[in-house]
Structure 1
Amino acid sequence: MTSTKAWGLALALLILGAGLAPPPASAQERPERMTPLRDWLQQRQDRAPQPTAPVPITRPGEHRFSLRHGGLTREYRVHVPARYDPATPMPMVLSFHGGGGNMDIQADDRYYGLVSHAEQAGYVVVFPNGTSRLRSGKLATWNAGLCCGQARDRQVDDVGFVRAVVADLRQRLNIDPGRIFAQGMSNGGMLSYRLACEMADTFKAIASVAGTDGTPACVPSGPVSVLHIHALDDDRVLFNGGSGSASDTHADFVSVPDTVARWARLNGCEAAPRRVLEVPGAWCETRSPCRGGAEVKLCVTETGGHAWPGGRKVRGEQPGASAISANELIWDFFSRR
């Protein structure tokens, strides 16, 4: 072996031996010094709040909840009527505010009367909040497909949020899974149509006031009964479609006749529409029977504009039509499912 090779071998053995040698005492002691810190961190972790099952609601009245979904903190309100009995399943209605509104406006009895109606009729009513640029949650919108605002532009997962709300409440309350319904005003009604398209396994029926169906594609897993209420003089979501002169969404809305025809087709309604209500200033017609016992119903008011029939005007808006009551028509429609 040459001297060069011998020196190389000796150097390699020296390096290898150094790598296998035990570390100095100071390095061996360092983990022991870290033990109190690890113990402290573990204790902090043990004391931190752990995910738990939702706490059941045991008293009637108003309740507010929040949950995380899609990277966002989402909120909703729920009103439990006085007659609620935890031993008896109760129907549940999710009511969605219009674009630019929020859950507090939708839950305000001065405008919509939904809390009083839920007490009278005996159902749980839920008011979810859309998404907003404001921390207050006001001026919120829903992603209903073609409409509206930042919820649509950012492709917010509102359908997933609604699924989470329903799942959360079914752990907090004794809800009848066969009597869960959705209703909404304007953009909230449009979201109700999207829910019928994508959550037909959850919602037995939906009702939309002043909001047409803007879902680009709709393949419901089963029949969903639909009630549509609209004023002929609505200047925001035009009865015959297009962009309303008073609309601030710049959307080309689907017409009421096309919306109703679409759902008659999706539900397999073969019968011609028949008039079932005619009063001064309003009329209703229905298409039934449809596949699976579903029904598609349209109620039209001559006046009332872009508002909730039977409700009071909101923030200076014109009052809804007085010829019919949206609350009464909707609950009658839902309760027959």
Structure 2
Amino acid sequence: MKSVFFSAGPFLTFFLFFGCNSSQMTSNDPDGFDLTPGQLITQNILHNGDEREYQLYLPSSYNEGTAYPVLLNFHGFGGNAKDYFEYESNFQEVADQEAVILVYPQALLLSGFSVWNAAPFAEDNKTDFDDIGFIETLIVKLQDQLSIDPERVYASGFSTGGMFSYALACFCNEPIAGVAAVSAAQLNLVDCAPSPINVFIAHGTDDDLLPYYGSSDIASIDEVVSFWTSVNQTSTVAQESSYAFDKETVYQYTYSEGINNSQVMLYKVENGNHEWFDHEIRGQSFTYLIWDFLSTQNFSGSKD
């Protein structure tokens, strides 16, 4: 089985973010719930005796009479949920314009660095954190205390956060309607037992941390795409488009006509590095591309 846990050294260079000074609200009560639209709110929840933290952002238009979709966002190795909201993924504009509830869970520390348990059943796994159980508990809390659409819960992540999004698609896909992974490897191709689900992948060919073409420990992106097109039973021939930039070319591959109209979308960034991409495709940022793709599908299938 291709599985790997990365040492702290190479990841530290990329994933220790600057602290943010943005105003926010905090709820120290693990069972409390603040409802303040348009502000980032720190929340806590008890799971397996641990107080787990997450950031919550309600769209500015939030009201309890409407059922809202939820987008779970997972930071990378050594990262911080607040900083990921503020500096990296930039989903706030999407949340306000498209009326989406954003949730940014915080990973636990292992040897001083925050990390997600993205391969919970791997023999060489270095952590036993029950992150999947944490997310399942969190989704139940969101359903109980917010006005959400349980058919429209999605997951997105960068690097190890994207790895964990894949893990949710594998092992917690019943409440998850679609996942997106940016600059992320999938660590559980053997153990993964998912149902058909929309999958968005963006990866650079020059990624030196998680190589596009794989390694002895990591499946290639082509293998990951093949895995999910097989799960979804999509067409095997992709619809292709390309977009040229100064130093990079972005190739889009869309595999459609899967079970329940599921799709697999790959953005291959030629010469792209290990990053959250800032290219605009058809006038849209990758953040909007992710949401536009995920939002076409609810848990029961295509919304169209």
TM category (shorter chain) comes to 0.7 to 0.9
Aligned length: 261
Residue 66 in structure 1 maps to residue 44 in structure 2: yes
SS at match of 1:73: strand
1:81 counterpart (48, 59, 64): 59
Cα distance in 2, alignment partners of residues 325 and 224 from structure 1: 23
- Name the counterpart of 1:156: 129
The code of the aligned residue for 1:210 comes to S
Q: How does 1:16-35 map to 2 (within 5 A)?
A: none
Q: Quick one: which of 243, 263, 272 aligns to 2:228?
A: 263
Q: Which has the higher strand share?
A: 2
Change (3 A) 1:217 1:228: same
SS at match of 1:74: strand
Cα distance in structure 2, aligned partners of 1:223 and 1:287 = 13
For 1:282 and 1:124, locate their aligned partners in 2 and report how far apart those are by CA, in whole Å: 29
Residues 52, 121 of structure 1: CA spacing in aligned structure 2 closer, same or farther, 3 A cutoff? closer
How does 1:285-324 map onto structure 2 within 5 Å?
285-310=253-278
Highest Rg: 1 or 2?
1
User: Do residues 254 (structure 1) and 227 (structure 2) align?
Assistant: no
CA contact 1:63–1:77 (8 Å) conserved in 2: yes
Q: Percent identity?
A: 30
Q: Structure 1 residues 303, 322: CA separation in 2 closer, same or farther (over 3 Å shift)?
A: farther
Matched position secondary structure for 1:170: helix
The 3-state SS of whatever aligns with 2:260 is helix
- Whether the 8 Å contact between 1:57 and 1:172 is mirrored in structure 2 is no
What does residue range 1-337 of structure 1 map to in structure 2 within 5 Å?
55=33, 57=35, 59-108=37-86, 110-133=87-110, 139-145=113-119, 152-215=125-188, 216-220=190-194, 222-242=195-215, 252-275=217-240, 277-280=241-244, 281-310=249-278, 325-337=285-297
- CA apart distance, 1:268: 1.5
Q: What is the DSSP-based 3-state SS (H/G/I as helix, E as strand, rest coil) of the residue aligned with 2:164? A: helix
- The 3 A distance-change label for structure 1 pair 327 and 258 is same
TM-score between the two structures when normalised by the length of structure 2: 0.79
The structure richer in helix per residue is: 1
Using the TM superposition, give the Cα deviation of residue 140 of structure 1 relative to its aligned residue in structure 2, in angstroms.
Answer: 0.6
The two structures, once aligned, show a CA RMSD in angstroms of: 2.4
- Paired letter, 1:305: N
Structure 2: which amino acid aligns with 1:330? I
